[in-house]
A and B are shown apart, each in its own frame.
Chain A
Amino acid sequence: MKVAITSTGDSFDSMLDSRFGRCSYFVVYDTESKSSEFIPNPNKNASEGAGPASVQLLAEKNVEKIVSGEFGMKIKSLLDSLRIQMIIIKEPKSVRDVTALLNH
């Protein structure tokens, strides 16, 4: 199963990005093969519609869960219809911490 994590940088030590649509990087982590892919977010500086565009990007990668600090309101209904689960972490955590939790 693939999980998307919003990240502030392109390494496992970077912190989880608290924004979803305008995060710096998306990490697409595969819990079965333990492989990960860092995708720079093309919508980082978009003035509008960054959230839905990011959802589209991740939906093409067939992710089933998204881990982030916050989701905008346009996104919730989109993700509900795509049946993608949202996970909100309010505490500062690094990408490595999140992937470790996913490998419970």
Chain B
Amino acid sequence: MARLKRLRKILNPPSMKGFKPYGQESDTEEKEPVTLLYEEYEALRLCDYDNCNHAEASAIMNVSRPTFTRIYASLRQKLANAFVECRPIVVEGGKIYFDSDWHYCMKCHCNFNNPDKDRSIESCPLCGNQTFETHNSELETAFVMSGNCAEICVCPVCGEKVSREPGTACNQLVCSSCGAPLNRRAGYRRGSFKNQ
């Protein structure tokens, strides 16, 4: 089995969901959108907006430099496709986690965030203990984004969708309501883009 993808860290998620072309030459019906992954948006932002080089950007996203270059190459191809073929762009999905203000309590082993940015946290909201540390590695699995690359299995009989644990195959799971073996979601890895 192929090695699992490393989670990519996203510092600033996009403030929109996508883009649409306007003023096309021919009035055809809307074309199928190009799906940009969050990690690709982040690669574009780091590389071309923040002017980082690939090595710096890869360190920020917590992936290797070659992987970053592959993400960036995939982004360039998708953007070029969208522009040339007048297709809308949708930003969704990706194997990512978000970097934000998270803390971990040493006493009750809970993770919590700070909803009020103006005030700093003094004690654990759960047990009141004052020893906690700020980090986010524990949360990597808690915020895996779902989208076109989501690890989702579909029941062929009733259509129920079940998310699967990375590393398990869909056909080894059965549907909870009708007991049929599950299929991998149709459309997964659709199109000519290979997801890194």
Query: Would you list which residues of chain B between 93 and 136 have a CB under 8 Å from chain A?
Result: 98, 100, 108-116, 125-129
- Are B127 and A88 in contact, with the CB atoms below 8 A? no
Stretch in contact with the other chain, from B54-62, B70-78, B138-146, B183-191: B138-146
- Write out, one digit per residue, whether chain A residues 20-41 have a CB within 8 A of any chain B CB (1) or not (0): 0000000000000000000000
Residue of A76, A83, A85 touching B112 (CB-CB under 8 A): A85
Majority DSSP secondary structure for residues of B touching A: loop
Stretch in contact with the other chain, from A6-14, A53-61, A65-73: A65-73
Query: Would you list which residues of chain A between 49 and 104 have a CB under 8 Å from chain B?
Result: 65, 67, 70-73, 76, 79-80, 82-91, 98, 101-102, 104
Is B87 on the interface with A (CB-CB < 8 A)? Answer: no
Task: State how many angstroms separate the Cβ of B34 from the closest Cβ of chain A.
Answer: 21
- Are B112 and A87 in contact, with the CB atoms below 8 A? yes
CA distance A79 to B102 in the complex (A): 14
Q: What B residues does A89 contact at CB under 8 A? A: 108-111, 126
Our count of residue pairs bridging A and B at CB distance below 8 angstroms stands at 58
Is B161 on the interface with A (CB-CB < 8 A)? Answer: yes
- Are A80 and B111 in contact, with the CB atoms below 8 A? no
- Are B115 and A83 in contact, with the CB atoms below 8 A? yes
CA distance A82 to B111 in the complex (A): 19
- Are A73 and B146 in contact, with the CB atoms below 8 A? yes
Q: What B residues does A76 contact at CB under 8 A? A: 98, 100, 143
- Are B112 and A88 in contact, with the CB atoms below 8 A? yes
CA distance A60 to B89 in the complex (A): 35
Q: What B residues does A101 contact at CB under 8 A? A: 108, 126-127
- Are A90 and B109 in contact, with the CB atoms below 8 A? yes
Residue of A47, A67, A70 touching B142 (CB-CB under 8 A): A70
Q: Could you list 17 examples of A-B contacts with CB < 8 Å?
A: A47-B161, A70-B142, A71-B143, A72-B146, A73-B98, A76-B100, A80-B115, A83-B115, A85-B112, A86-B113, A87-B110, A88-B112, A89-B109, A89-B126, A91-B109, A102-B126, A104-B127
New A-B contacts (7) at CB < 8 Å, excluding given A71-B143, A87-B126, A104-B126: A47-B161, A67-B126, A83-B116, A87-B125, A101-B127, A102-B126, A104-B129
Per CB-CB distance, the 6 closest pairs between chain A and chain B, nearest first, are A104-B128, A88-B111, A87-B112, A83-B115, A101-B127, A85-B115
